[in-house]
Chain A
Amino acid sequence: MKAKFLIPLMLFVVLVGFLAVGLNRDPHEVPSPLINKQAPAFELPQLAEANKSFSPASMKGQVWIMNVWASWCVACREEHPVLVELAKSQIAPVIGLDYKDNREDALVMLAKQGNPYLLSAFDANGRVGIDYGVYGVPETYVIDKAGIIRFKHIGPLTMELLNQKIFPLVSELKKS
């Protein structure tokens, strides 16, 4: 008989549990439907050398990392030192996708803060960004030898994330 009075309390605990989980999740981290799908093809001019172009097809056969960035994006500046570390580790080539940016501003930023990118593709109107489901710069993709997206991170990279997620993943992908 007494247990009956505990039912509302139990329901309340369950509700609090749901809310606690919900509150601690970042609503901006939307699962990408592109994981385990072929990275969308594109061909864009390069940032530094506008007469040369870049296409993901040229990266076939190696594991690589694509980082979407822009000089107007504050969080990109924040993550930049981490990208420089990532490039230093030489674990995989890092390709930049300069998203809706101004060429001069982007080049100035790279000159000031160091250039972690093997090269950057210049996505002036953001059309390629749409194909990759970009909605908040910076975003980072790990793409395997077959050109399949294996991992996506939205928001600035951190050293923790590199050590815990990206380094192990890349070395595993390299083996296969």
Chain B
Amino acid sequence: MRQLLLIALCIFSLGSSYAKDAAPLADDPLTEQRLISISEEMRCLVCQNESLAGSRSDLANDLRREIRILIKEGKSDDQIRTFMVERYGDFVLYRPPVKPITWLLWIGPFVILLIGISGLLTYLRRRDRNVPSLNLTDEDNRRIDALLNDGGKDNKGVQ
């Protein structure tokens, strides 16, 4: 009885997963491909952490419809991008254009990296200078060898 129920459950769940096959998006796969490549680079303004390609919000649906129309009108990718920027600002682009107001955004991380590297270098150089250079005598070398060779056996005694 239990097994029968399980089998029935399996069949039913299979049925529902088949029933929800993705609906075909457009009659023309080329348009759809271009739509995806353009809208993946754009932010959905309603749910700002999603791309326009992935968002299920109403506005994203409308905008995808609009982009489809523009593609069918033979507009270039750049023209479509301009269409969106004219209405929603640079904010829709995941890659904002390089211009004075976005310089900090583009160059900032590298500036901070440079500051970090130069800080590290000055620190290392200063530390180098602070290590006194020693001239080892033969006696010293012998002791070092002895300690190194002895290492594994008698650590505690050496310390």
A30 touches B58 (CB 8 A): no
Taking CB atoms, residues of chain B closer than 8 Å to A127 are: 62, 66
Interface centre among B58, B62, B63 (most CB of A within 10 A): B62
The range of chain B's interface size is 10 to 19
Which B-chain residue is minimally distant from A125 (CB atoms)? B62
A133 touches B88 (CB 8 A): yes
Known interface pairs A30-B45, A136-B46. Does A130 touch B87 (Cβ–Cβ under 8 Å)?
Answer: yes
Determine which of A126, A132, A133 lies in contact with B62 in the assembled complex, contact meaning CB atoms within 8 Å: A126
Which A-chain residue is minimally distant from B119 (CB atoms)? A7
Taking CB atoms, residues of chain B closer than 8 Å to A126 are: 58-59, 62
Interface mask (B39-54 → A, CB under 8 Å = 1, otherwise 0): 0000001101000000
Determine which of B45, B66, B86 lies in contact with A135 in the assembled complex, contact meaning CB atoms within 8 Å: B45
A31 touches B66 (CB 8 A): no
A135 touches B59 (CB 8 A): yes
Determine which of A27, A31, A33, A125 lies in contact with B87 in the assembled complex, contact meaning CB atoms within 8 Å: A33
Q: How far is the CA of A135 from the CA of B86 in the complex (A)?
A: 14
Determine which of B46, B62, B86, B89 lies in contact with A31 in the assembled complex, contact meaning CB atoms within 8 Å: B89
A34 on the interface (CB 8 Å rule)?
yes
Determine which of B46, B58, B66, B85 lies in contact with A100 in the assembled complex, contact meaning CB atoms within 8 Å: B58
Taking CB atoms, residues of chain B closer than 8 Å to A113 are: none
Minimum CB–CB distance for B63 against chain A, Å: 7
B86 touches A33 (CB 8 A): yes
| Interface of B, helix, strand, loop or mixed by DSSP | helix
Q: How far is the CA of A30 from the CA of B93 in the complex (A)?
A: 13
The range of chain A's interface size is 10 to 19
A135 touches B62 (CB 8 A): no
Determine which of A27, A32, A129 lies in contact with B89 in the assembled complex, contact meaning CB atoms within 8 Å: A32
Known interface pairs A100-B58, A126-B62. Does A135 touch B46 (Cβ–Cβ under 8 Å)?
Answer: yes
Taking CB atoms, residues of chain A closer than 8 Å to B88 are: 30, 33, 133, 135
A172 on the interface (CB 8 Å rule)?
no
Minimum CB–CB distance for B118 against chain A, Å: 14
Determine which of A28, A32, A130 lies in contact with B66 in the assembled complex, contact meaning CB atoms within 8 Å: A130
Minimum CB–CB distance for B85 against chain A, Å: 7
Taking CB atoms, residues of chain B closer than 8 Å to A125 are: 62
Minimum CB–CB distance for B83 against chain A, Å: 9
Interface centre among A125, A135, A136 (most CB of B within 10 A): A135
Interface mask (A10-40 → B, CB under 8 Å = 1, otherwise 0): 0000000000000000011011111000000
Q: Which residues in B have some Cβ–Cβ distance to A below 8 Å?
A: 45-46, 48, 58-59, 62-63, 66, 85-91
8 A-B pairs within 8 Å (CB atoms) are namely A27-B48, A30-B88, A33-B88, A126-B58, A129-B62, A130-B87, A135-B46, A135-B88
Closest 6 CB pairs of A and B: A135-B45, A133-B87, A33-B89, A30-B91, A133-B88, A126-B62
